Amino acid sequence: MGIRLLPKGHARIGLANDQLSSCPTTSNCVCSEDASASSYVAPFMFSDTVESAWQRARRAIISSGGSIQQETDKYLWASYTTKWLRFVDDVELRMDADHHVIHVRSASRVGRSDFGVNKARVGMLRSIFGGESPDIL
């Protein structure tokens, strides 16, 4: 699976060299595989089986309002539509079984700033993944 551009906006979806895309220079994206300090978020760590962790991550996406667009055994792409103004954001997960982490990327399709929504979404997903019941965005 290679990187592709979505019809609207400048979002880059998919894996390149088995990694999630880095974020653009705008402040509307966070990614655990992006080296820049302004875009970095930690991946989801797990100690149980790969299959169990993947199912928890999948349930976190669905229970938080995400709509799964594409899924394999090591990659998931979901979209979220914001309640206000109906903007679409994309969340991607990549399983790294060797290191017991799930990498995450959350990005707005349009605009230059998201007022911290994507970072907050990743925090919410992390909480759900870890078994907590946080407030949904």
Note the pLDDT of residue 121. Answer: 94
Q: Which residues of 117-129 are buried (b: 16+ CB within 10 A; e: fewer)?
A: bbbbbbbbbbebb
pLDDT at 79 over 90: yes
Q: Is 17 left (phi over 0), alpha (psi -120 to 50) or beta?
A: left
Beta partners for residue 31, in sequence order: 40, 105
Which pLDDT value is given to residue 48? 96
* 115 inside domain: yes
Q: Residue 113: which CATH number?
A: 3.30.310.80
What are the φ/ψ torsions at residue 98 (nearest 5 degrees)? Answer: -65, -35
82 occurs within a structural domain: yes
Res 132: pLDDT: 67
Residue 13 within a domain: no
Inside any domain, residue 84: yes
Contact 71, 57 (CB under 8 A): no
Residue 44: strand pairing partners: 102
Domain annotation covers residue 37: no
Query: How many domains does the chain fold into?
Result: 1
Confidence check: pLDDT of 10 > 50: no
- Is residue 61 within 8 A of residue 106, CB to CB? The reply is no
